[in-house]
Amino acid sequence: MEFGKAFSYQFEDQDWIKKILIAAVVPLIPIIGSLVTAGWGVEITKRVIRHEPQPLAEWDDFGGYLAKGFKVIIIGLVYALPLIIVGICPTILLTAPYSSNGNSETLMYVAYAATACFGLIFLLYGILLAFLIPAAIGRFADTGQLGAAFKFREVFALVKATPMAFLMVFLGTIVSSFIGSLGSIACGVGVLATTAYATSINAHLQGQAYLEATSKTSSY
């Protein structure tokens, strides 16, 4: 993977200022703005997978980006569902001793032990999600089919084939999040611009990781 390329390819596009500025402003649209920007990111991922010479997507398909962004939310929710369930369980366990007529002290110790186990599961699955979701979005971007993101065996195979590639996506997300936060120095406008830039970074890395993973899986 060309990690640094994800941070520099934007500036090779002669219209990069316009594209990034639009990406910065679109999230200000109530309710749908963030979805549209997420869809724009999917289009960048698709363009990287297709080896387009200018991966930074144009803003010429607002409705299409909105639809893609909505599907990205669905992908995230489905993959996070086990995490949501695990997050609810500790709350139920901790309230059980108070609603029981039995030995509440013993139940409390059991509840705390179980909560610690659920916390560990929550952490481990959260890390796994950081690898699986970019792979799932890559499949969606490549095929244009939402169902492709939920072929869990294929998605897991992508991550298994090139875990280091998806680790780079994870690390890139951390770095881009830091870059996004730097915009606070320049007040709100700066945050919007750096967040848009961060979206373009993450999308490019997802495309790169997917390409590397598919090249490995296709050779098996």
Average pLDDT of the residues of the chain: 87
Tell me which of 82-91, 106-115, 164-173 is least confident. Answer: 106-115
Burial of 217 (0-12, 13-18, 19+ CB in 10 A): middle
State pLDDT tens for residues 128-168.
999 999 999 999 999 999 999 999 999 999 999 999 999 99
Residue 102: CB partners within 8 Å, gap ≥ 6?
A: none
Distance between CA atoms of residues 29 and 26, nearest Å? 6
Mean pLDDT of 27-52: 95
Between 147 and 121, whose confidence is greater?
147
* Length of the chain (residues): 220
State pLDDT tens for residues 59-88.
999 999 999 999 999 999 999 998 887 767
State pLDDT tens for residues 196-211.
999 999 999 999 999 9
Q: Is the pLDDT of residue 110 over 80?
A: no
Burial of 123 (0-12, 13-18, 19+ CB in 10 A): exposed
Q: What is the DSSP letter of 142?
A: H
Q: Is the pLDDT of residue 5 over 60?
A: yes
The per-residue pLDDT for 140 is: 97
The per-residue pLDDT for 72 is: 97
**For the whole model, what pTM was predicted?**
0.86
